Chain A
């Protein structure tokens, strides 16, 4: 805010054109301007425009935050207070000549990617990109391979990608995690880097990950009875045929984000005792105590399942690591599920972060989640 106040003063004092002052201001700052716990978003492209709106996914704030115009200029700004460790993804909506255009913040080079494209990113001063999530040239590299699976359940052919840890030995048995939205975890959450780094540091047991994708994702992952059947009757045996797996539910896990979290829990619920470890990120665990959920028909089976699950959570016979962003509308549902599961005797670890419903937020929780479910021998191994 100090920066904008200083700019305002300078604009008032200048006798020359405002454009010169504004151009200098843009050159001499990085954007958004973060001062303490406030972030100042700024837009100026030198051309006339009618307005700017911040489009973001911070639950609790109005999703469209209008910018203020600096008097007498075509420059706009918005000041937001955000948590010290917060991180938000956003776009700008620029209004010009009656048209509204969404764009990434042209003054901010930081971007995050997802299946729909990319967003601008505003990290607050307390947010640190974890070193274990970034490529490390000294990490021992696992490898990704793949096979095709002819699915009777879905009546089509599907690709299953496999992560094998470094120095994978065919004679040795490994734990397995089946990962929903595998392609997105690989592409947008950099999960291979995470696995390589954590295994190299002995924080995580060497394990195999089977990455699966949905063809009609929202329907298949939304408590669709075909998905547990597909994973248990087709994917699991196909992986077992090709690789040696530890024959113990505690060595078998499921993971996923959003609807992938629902599908993981739904699968464990439908096949109790098969999967003993669950990693559920921003699970879309919407439930109702009374009345309608109001989220559309796609959610009907999800809500029905979560309502059933809340009545008998112990049926899943699994440990669960759950995480959710405090900027998500799902935070309340996730928080509400934790005590229900704990009261039923399930081991649950729950983590919150000041972030949203996005792949970087899910990446940033992978260390806590994976290493809690499959801890390596980090204290004892020195090689």
Chain B
């Protein structure tokens, strides 16, 4: 029998993990990944107290650091690849900015003569989407060009040992908890140990996954970074890269009310249109969407107004995706 994935809202200031964990999972051991907390990975005391049950803490952040210390050749290759990806991100931003300017200007002028502007506006939107898609392709090419770190767990003894240990620790757990934090670090550390397939297979093995914030974002098909009003630079959302695909068809936006200007219908419409047909889902504290990965059905257990979807017309629709 398959188990659900619980997509929760941010766990601060008021956590709802305990309530849904107790509702869905028999008492017993659960596994926790907090690699996104980076240097604070071990600060699990408050969360452990909140859930009130035995915990197997999988310390991926620390283990990966240790592996890279033991294998300097691998560390060099890994960092070289990451530096190349970061360099490409600058190229991506140049294209993105130009495409955004075109879409904005065409949208601004479209009401003057919709018949004249609409076809170009649709093309400009498509160009924006293609830039996002190209990013994924170019990152994949960089991965392929650095084959020595493409799947290190397959052939590097230090990684093999660590991966085996992590999987052994995960095995007896009744559920996996995937916490938020730094989304890039979390995704990369999970990938480094080749854990994406193992995690995505858990529900079909009867093990539920509870995820929130960055922990939920990495399970989508495409991880989107967003912050409308940064103190410096542009506030255009960016694609970080591919996620693990356990949560298809949605872009997850934790703390959307703080990070996005949702009163600006123009920005909301642009955001929703850019990532369409995926549904952009805002998640606030109190959100709880229960997804059955086998059937794709979602049951919404959220508190009122804690989940909403960005609409292509710039409005917000209360509740999770249909």
Contacts and interface: CB of A to CB of B under 8 A. Distances in A.
Contacts of A379: 225, 227, 230, 238
Given A138-B13, A201-B258, A378-B227, A383 B232 contact: no
B43 A169 contact: yes
Contacts of A203: 230-231
B10 interface: yes
Interface stretch (B18-26, B101-109, B136-144, B178-186): B178-186
A172 B227 contact: no
B181 A382 contact: yes
Nearest to A372: B232
A383 B43 contact: no
A383 B258 CA distance: 12
Contacts of B181: 381-383
Interface string B150-190: 00000000000000000000000000000111111100000
Interface centre among B181, B183, B231, B240 (most CB of A within 10 A): B231
Interface string B118-154: 0000000000000000000000000000000000000
Interface SS, A side: loop
Given A167-B43, A169-B40, A169-B43, A383 B231 contact: no
A380 B230 contact: no
B203 interface: no
Interface in B216-246: 217, 225, 227, 230-232, 238, 240
Given A167-B40, A368-B231, A380 B238 contact: no
Interface in A131-147: 138, 140
A372 B182 CA distance: 20
B39 interface: yes
Nearest to A139: B13
B12 interface: yes
B214 A382 contact: yes
A200 to B, nearest CB: 9
A377 B182 contact: yes
Contacts of A167: 40, 43
A167 B232 CA distance: 26
Nearest to A349: B232
Contact of A382 (B13, B213, B230): B213
B111 to A, nearest CB: 26
Most buried by B among A172, A371, A379, A383: A383
A375 interface: yes
Nearest to B179: A383
Contacts of B214: 381-383
Nearest to B215: A382
Contacts, number: 56
Given A138-B13, A201-B258, A382 B232 contact: no
A138 B12 CA distance: 9
Contact of B10 (A169, A368, A383): A383
B285 to A, nearest CB: 9
Contact of B255 (A140, A172, A372, A382): A382
Nearest to A370: B231
Contacts of A375: 232
A204 to B, nearest CB: 9
Contacts of A382: 10, 180-181, 183, 213-214, 217, 254-255
B231 A380 contact: no
Nearest to A202: B227
A367 interface: yes
Interface in A326-383: 367-368, 371-372, 375, 377-383
A368 B181 CA distance: 24
B36 interface: yes
Nearest to B240: A380
Interface string B181-208: 1111100000000000000000000000
A372 B231 contact: yes
Contacts of B240: 380
A40 B189 CA distance: 61
Contacts of A140: 12
Most buried by B among A138, A167, A382: A382
A372 B233 CA distance: 10
Contact of A380 (B37, B182, B258): B182
Contacts of B225: 379-380
A150 B238 CA distance: 52
Contacts of B12: 140, 383
A89 B282 CA distance: 41
A383 B13 contact: no
Contacts of A377: 182
Given A383-B36, A383-B213, A371 B232 contact: yes
9 contacts: A138-B13, A167-B43, A371-B231, A378-B230, A380-B185, A381-B181, A381-B214, A382-B10, A382-B180
Interface of A: 138, 140, 167, 169, 172, 201, 203, 367-368, 371-372, 375, 377-383
